[in-house]
Amino acid sequence: MATPSAHASGTFDLGGELTIHRLGYGAMRITGDGIWGPPADHDAALAVLRRSVELGIDFIDTADSYGPFVSEDLIADALAPYDGVTIATKGGLLRTGPGQWHPLGRPMYLRQAVQMSMRRLKLDTIPLYQLHRIDPEVDRDEQFAELKHMQDEGWVRFIGLSEVGVDEIKAAQDAGLEIATVQNEYNLGQRKHEAVVDFCEEEGIGFIPWYPLNAGKLSDSETLEEAANELGATHSQVALAWLLKRSPVMLPIPGTSSVEHLEENVAAAGIEMPDRIFDALDEATRDDA
């Protein structure tokens, strides 16, 4: 059996300049329970990160809040100095315990966050830095201005936003930001951000769907089972293949703490999904848009 490769997912140019393969890896699950503290098996977490690169993944997404700080430290331990690998991280969420997340977008906090991420990741410039959430308690233009400051200082190369609508992306653009990516919850079972996907495609903005393996109400359906049987794939692989076909700007980042599961996810890049299967799955979940 051929070794799976993320190269089969095709490529996308971040910011119109930096070429990555479209299937990446999300490094949230290599932390402890509740995305809090270290992983149960430190060496296994490093093995997953290193294997992801061996499988052709050259885009790894993390955040300072994962652990907190644990995911970034592990990535640096496993992969620095990142030969040919693009690291994306996020800031703007405060952690107060397992499973607890709070937006914090005060400019001084964001400035500290990016500097600390640079130190942990052992980077002079972070390739892609994303505002994890727009803090509703802070003027969003102040948050956008701080992101622009980070870029002007050379701390970050490209800027992204997370969990935003089209109006917020436009507001950031109006504030002078060139938005390279948007990271929103989106998958076969959660279609609420259809308008954002379409806008990103029009603008050439990469769309990073988090929680990409969720098939929602289709999980036990005949439609998904028939698709999986015809494609010779698992349900999760069908969900990933559907995302990759949905838009050329789609950049799925399935995460896992298992090498076996990682290899299964990467194999989805090689699935060629016929239009009729894509359309059947799309129609079955379109009501969730």
Q: Which distant-in-sequence residues (6+ apart) come within 8 Å of 183 by Cβ?
A: 61, 90, 130, 160, 161, 162, 163, 207, 208, 209, 210
Task: Tell me the mean pLDDT in the region 125-148.
Answer: 98
Q: How many CB atoms within 10 Å of residue 272?
A: 9
Contact (CB, 8 A) for 164 and 182: yes
Band the pLDDT of 1: cuts 50, 70, 90.
low
pLDDT at res. 78: 98
pLDDT tens column, 56-93: 999 999 999 999 999 999 999 999 999 999 999 999 99
Burial state string for 106-129 with b = 16 or more CB within 10 A and e = fewer than 16: ebebbbebbeebbebbbbeebbbb
User: What is the chain's mean pLDDT, rounded?
Assistant: 96
Q: Is the pLDDT of residue 152 over 60?
A: yes
pLDDT at res. 199: 98
pLDDT at res. 60: 98
Q: Which distant-in-sequence residues (6+ apart) come within 8 Å of 27 by Cβ?
A: 49, 60, 61, 62, 66, 71, 74, 75, 255
Q: How far apart are the C-alpha atoms of 164 and 161, rounded to whole Å?
A: 7
- % of the chain at pLDDT higher than 70: 99
Band the pLDDT of 39: cuts 50, 70, 90.
very high
CA 166 to each of CA 34, 45, 72, 161, 211: distance values in angstroms, whole numbers, following the listed order: 30, 36, 29, 11, 20
Amino acid letter for position 68? P
Which of these, 213, 221, 136, 144, lies nearest to 178 by C-alpha position?
Answer: 144
Task: Tell me the mean pLDDT in the region 86-104.
Answer: 97
The residue annotated as part of the active site, out of 66, 109, 129, 211, is 66
pLDDT tens column, 214-257: 877 787 789 999 999 999 999 999 999 999 999 999 999 999 99
pLDDT at res. 288: 56
Domains in the chain with CATH codes = 7-288 (3.20.20.100)
∠ CA 207-164-32, nearest 5°, is 75
CA 271 to each of CA 75, 185, 225: distance values in angstroms, whole numbers, following the listed order: 28, 23, 16
Q: Is the pLDDT of residue 287 over 90?
A: no
66 is catalytic: yes
Q: Is the pLDDT of residue 289 over 60?
A: no
Residue scoring higher pLDDT (286 or 253): 253
pLDDT at res. 219: 79
- Beta-ladder partners of 208: 183
pLDDT at res. 56: 98
- The single-letter DSSP state of residue 17 is T
Contact (CB, 8 A) for 9 and 55: no
Q: How far apart are the C-alpha atoms of 265 and 256, rounded to whole Å?
A: 9
Task: Tell me the mean pLDDT in the region 113-117.
Answer: 98
Phi-psi region of 149 (alpha: psi -120 to 50; beta: other; left: phi over 0): alpha
